[in-house]
Amino acid sequence: MNLVEVKEFSFAYPECSRKVLDHANLKIEEGTLNVICGRSGCGKSTLLRQLKTVLAPVGKSEGEIFYRGMPLSGIDHRTQSQEIGFVMQNPDNQIVTDKVWHELSFGLESLGYDNATIRLRVAEMASYFGIHQWFYKNVSELSGGQKQILNLAAIMAMHPSLLILDEPTSQLDPIAASDFLETVKKINRDIGTTVLLTEHRLQDIIPYADRVFVMDKGNVYLEGTPREIGVKLKEQKHGMFLSMPIPMQIYGETDSQATCPLTVSEGRQWLSRYCNEKGIASDSQRKSESTEKVRYTKTDSSKKELSIQAKDVWFRYEKDSPDVVRDLSLEVKKGEFYALVGGNGTGKSTTLSLLSRVRCPYRGKILLEGRDIRSYKDRDLYCGLLGVMPQNPQSIFLKKTVLEDLYSVIGGRREKMSSEYQIHMKKEKAIEGIVSLTKLEGLLERHPYDLSGGEQQRLALAKVLLLRPRILLMDEPTKGMDAEYKEEIGKILTRLKQHGLTIFMISHDVEFVAEYADRVGLFFEGNIVTSQNTREFFAGNNFYTTAANRMARHLFPEAVTGKDVVTCLQSSNWTSL
């Protein structure tokens, strides 16, 4: 039986001629786990929000949506609130109370349940989700992963029939994200709740999906089982194949006729059999001269001058509160791409705020290009030296359209050209170049808040790059982006680095970091516990590493990306990276 059915549904935002959804069709069977994936801006989040009328965006719609065979528009809000649960991207956007226990009971209280029922369901959810250990805490004390688990538990306390999740792990570190998605799978498996989610981090969820739906240009382009979808995307050379699980991508680059692996465990077994069949020796069995064939090369950067330097930095938010950053020392060389990884709540974003002078340490020094950050005037610091891309891109959007927002950046810059016409032409050329670079064509008349998460990230990057910084600070720049555009962003950052730009990035996206960063630091307890070359870092970790390394390390321990593993399999002269 279909729990949800979308028939020929179209939707367009106000004053926008292009339809975000264009005759979309979707059927969700009761009790199944379903994943919707697609490029940024393809309409995934808009479609999910249409499945709960109180969250549906304002605009013009056509077509019909049915829930249990009845038009969704005719189902009252109380029924929708109880039976259709929705978890948003940003955990903070959904929390409405100050205490964990109160958040768990808030939905039940709003529906008018009696105290005995509320106490029973709250106790049940707290035990099921492991919340009893932080049951009485303030919500402000929770990590990002705990907040998202709390949101999920508060919804499940109402015993919904349909659970909708819109990129719920976009702001979580890899371990917290894996734990959260494991909980979602458990809810579907143990309770039988129908699950519909959209997610760019497909590695941990798509192997367990009953159905996968691929959206493109506002419509459902493909649907099927995970393996069927992988085969179709590979055959059609569709860009979404880059978002499929790494074992599937590696398998797709071989001539293997075995069953396609979906998980790391399946991938390890398949890889061992494949290497044995093809007579491919492991890294420990042979060495040769092919070191230069792979992307990572060791270069002597010891003589490069420093762009960023932190010396014995300490910071706390309040006088009597504990230190968030503790005795931090950091060096980033000019033209280097440095990535900082670590769990939620360890102090990474606080560190970025110190490096951007949004906050100031109470002890220690921060130097940019050898000069104390406190000595810079604001205009000298933020126009031409430092570019800051925040975790929430909406915080830097100022105008009603994308084009106006881009012009707001260069409109306020000091121009040395006397001719107004020359100034206008220079601005036109700058805007045109940055729009092409960040692929914002077709979005220029849209309101920034109406863009998808990935599109907002691209707009934020465009605004920052228009300031032509020499040092770029980025907080989760790939959040909400599909794999195809992540590759584009990686190429953009590589090009900027080649022109001497220094990049400091905070990220939970270990696959992206492994592909493009030069050095990686692990942040823990307010400090950097280790800082290594990218390959050495990921090859030496069991948990904070890539899916490709976990899959292939028993044969090729220094391979950290899918491309590395493919190189190992295709090269007859493979040796150490």
| φ and ψ of 561, to 5 deg | -125, 165
Q: Determine the Cα–Cα distance for residues 410 and 306; give it in Å rounded to an integer.
A: 28
3-class secondary structure, 82: helix
**75-104 pLDDT per residue, tens:** 999 999 999 999 988 888 889 999 999 999
The Cα–Cα gap between 283 and 539 comes to: 13
Q: Is the dihedral of CA 528, 531, 535, 539 positive or negative?
A: negative
- The ranges assigned to domains in the chain are 2-236, 306-517
Please name every residue paired with 389 in a beta bridge, in sequence order, or none if there are none.
474
- The Cα 425–Cα 429 span in angstroms is 6
Q: Which residue ranges of the chain lie beneath pLDDT 70?
A: 282-303, 411-427, 572-577
Residue 30's CB is within 10 A of a number of other CB atoms, namely 14
**Burial label, 52 (beta-carbon count in 10 A; 0-12, 13-18, 19+):** buried
* Residue of 523, 214, 574, 223 lying closest to 346 (CA atoms): 523
End-to-end CA distance of the chain: 52
Q: What angle do CA 14, 483, 345 make, to 5 degrees?
A: 90
Please give the pLDDT value at position 310: 95
pLDDT for residue 42: 86
Q: What pLDDT is recorded for position 226?
A: 93
Residue 285 is predicted with a pLDDT of 54
CA dihedral of 37, 38, 39, 45, whole degrees rounded to 10: -70
Fold match flag (2-236 vs 306-517) = yes
- What is the 8-class DSSP label of residue 188? I
Task: Provide the CATH number for the domain formed by 306-517 in this structure.
Answer: 3.40.50.300
Q: How many CB atoms within 10 Å of residue 131?
A: 22
Q: How far, in Å, CA of 83 to CA of 79, rounded?
A: 6
The pair of three-digit structure tokens given for residue 175, joined into one six-digit string: 């371990």
User: pTM of the predicted model, to two decimals?
Assistant: 0.81
Please give the pLDDT value at position 504. Answer: 96
> What is the pLDDT at residue 414?
39
Is the separation of the CB atoms in 148 and 172 below 8 Å?
A: yes
pLDDT at 294: 43
Type and span of the H or E element at 485: helix 483-498
The helix (run of H) or strand (run of E) holding residue 380 is helix 378-382
Question: For position 334, what pLDDT does the model report?
Answer: 94
Provide DSSP, 529-549: EEEEEHHHHHHT-SSSS-HHH
The amino acid sitting at 248 is M
DSSP 187: I
Query: Which letter, b or e, does each residue of 71-109 get, where b requires 16 or more Cβ atoms within 10 Å of its Cβ?
Result: ebeebeeeebbbbbbbbbbbbeebbeeeebbebbbbbbe
CA–CA separation, 466 and 153 (whole Å): 43
Superfamily of domain 2-236: P-loop containing nucleotide triphosphate hydrolases (3.40.50.300)
Kindly report the CA angle at 52 between 46 and 58, in degrees rounded to 5?
50
Residue (of 505, 434, 496) closest to 476 by Cα position: 505
Distance CA 162, CA 84 (A): 5
Strands of 115-259 (E only): list them.
162-166, 194-198, 211-216, 219-224
Q: What is the pLDDT of residue 422?
A: 45
